[in-house]
Amino acid sequence: MPQKALQITSAKVVPALLDLPWNIPLEEWPEDLIATLPRGISRHVVRFVNLEGEIIAIKEIGEEVALHEYEMLRDLDRIDAPCVEALAAITGRYDDSGEPLNAVLITHHLPYSLPYRAIFSQQSTMRPETVGRLIDALTVLMVRLHLIGFFWGDVSLSNTLFRRDAGEYSAYLVDAETGELEANLSPRKRSYDIDVARTNIIGELMDLQAGGILDEEFDAIAVGDRFEERYHALWAELTAEESFSLSERWRVDERINRLNQLGFDVGEMSMTTDIGGTQLSIQPMVVDAGHYSRQIMRLTGMDVEEQQARRMMNDLDSYRTLTGRDSLPLSVVAHQWITEVFEPTVSAIPRDLAGKLQPAEIFHEVLEHRWYMSEKAGHDVPMDEVIQSYINDVLVHRPDEQALIPQTETTSIPVVMD
């Protein structure tokens, strides 16, 4: 039968894509092409592949869905949403006998990211606090997406990737098959996403209990309820109107600072007074996550996670004060801090250990280690001593989150994560 030509939809030309065996079903691709990364659950066949020095994720799906998800991820990327980056959608695939094959969606692998099952399987006993941090990260992700008008439609831990962020986690959308972008997302659609998320979270945690990864006494329903409660609290903090008297105008700054502490910038505020002019009402109109990460990007050019950036800004402020450079512009001090503090700390890590964590996460952990050592010693411990202790006592025991990690407890899962 006649075959239509292979169609590659991509924003940039990637000739190496043509060298991949698109005439073979994805699940039958040769092992020498496959990059072994931690696996999660998916409705589709997905493979991680080495391509010219980087890792790409290839998902085999229907043509219409592949093109929709490609365009949706591209739209989300243009507005700086926390999601994986689309590389291409490929349609018009046929095997050597002329039988049609499913289309594929190709995304860039998110460095240092892990599916939730890999995070759980790294620890012999998962503490409830760790579960809580993952749920909080997913909560922030969904609020951020709803604020920009994105309806997810299939919220779950499985459709999310997590990155360590100064001891916490940051979450990224990794599946936009059912997603839609709207100018004003309706409360009904937000409510639908919340209900789906709660149901999926409970089911996924119960599945981990059935597999012996989570303790049988763990209350999965309570965690699902926590997600819903945290979502409503964060949404209200970001969008609710607040009224107070004109003599309390300081509360405007307090509200902005409170939002900043949650990791959000206030791009615009709506302020109105009542007829008598004695009451003032404020409501955030445009809010974006990433207050500290944008500060660090502006000052240093480094693209880091929000909590990492917060820790770096705190250390930069301390450095500025302790070195008597308060009168210098912050941009100048930031350059000196990078040269004298950040780079020497990260460079002191042996090359064979440097890939275990992001540089910003290593720096955060070194600062944490310095605090614990100094508290125990009762005085400031020299940085050289701190770094050596951190390498020997902490870093060597960390799992390698950059390298290609073989499967552990999740090997039996038949397909990989969206």
Pick from 189, 195, 126, 119: nearest CA to 156: 195
Q: Which two tokens stand for residue 344?
A: 């020497």
Check: CB of residue 66 under 8 Å from CB of residue 418.
Answer: no
Which pLDDT does position 13 carry in this prediction? Answer: 80
Helix (H) or strand (E) holding 50: strand 46-51
Q: What phi, psi does 290 have (nearest 5°)?
A: 105, 30
Q: What is the pLDDT of residue 349?
A: 94
Q: Enumerate domains of the chain plus CATH numbers.
A: 7-109 (3.30.200), 116-239 (1.10.510.10), 242-289 (no CATH), 305-397 (no CATH)
Give the model's pLDDT for residue 168.
75
**Are 410 and 123 within 8 A, CB to CB?**
no
3-state secondary structure of 98: coil
Residue 42's pLDDT is 66
Token reading at 276: 């008598």
pLDDT at 398: 81
Please report the DSSP string for 11-41 in residue order. SS--GGGGGS-TTS-GGG--GGGB-------
Over its length of 418 residues, how does the chain's per-residue pLDDT go in tens digits? Answer: 445 688 999 988 888 999 999 999 999 999 889 887 755 566 789 999 988 888 999 999 999 999 999 999 999 999 889 999 999 999 999 999 999 999 999 999 988 888 888 887 765 556 667 788 889 889 989 998 998 999 999 999 999 999 887 777 889 999 999 999 998 899 999 999 999 999 999 999 998 888 887 888 889 999 999 999 989 988 988 888 777 776 676 777 787 777 777 666 666 666 677 666 666 666 655 455 677 888 898 899 898 888 898 889 889 988 888 888 888 889 899 999 999 999 999 999 998 898 888 899 999 999 999 988 988 888 888 999 999 999 999 998 887 765 444 443 333 222 333 3
d(CA 114, CA 249): 44
Smallest Cα–Cα separation from 156: which of 192, 118, 198, 119?
A: 198
E strands along 129-184, which residues? 150-151, 160-165, 168-173, 180-181
- The predicted pLDDT at position 412 comes to 29
DSSP 175: -
Q: 107 pairs with which residues across the strands?
A: 57, 86
Q: Return d(Cα 322, Cα 286) in angstroms, integer.
A: 36
Instruction: Please enumerate in sequence order all residues whose Cβ is within 8 A of that of 327, keeping only pairs 6 or more positions apart, or say none.
Output: none
| N- to C-terminal Cα separation, the chain | 33
Specify the pLDDT at position 289: 64
- What is the 3-state composition of the chain as percent helix, strand, coil, each rounded to the nearest 5? 45, 20, 35
Q: What is the value of pTM for the model shown? A: 0.74
Question: Which residue is it, tokens 């819903």?
Answer: 228
Query: Would you state the pLDDT for residue 176?
Result: 94
At 284 the pLDDT is 59
Distance CA(295)–CA(306), nearest Å, equals 10
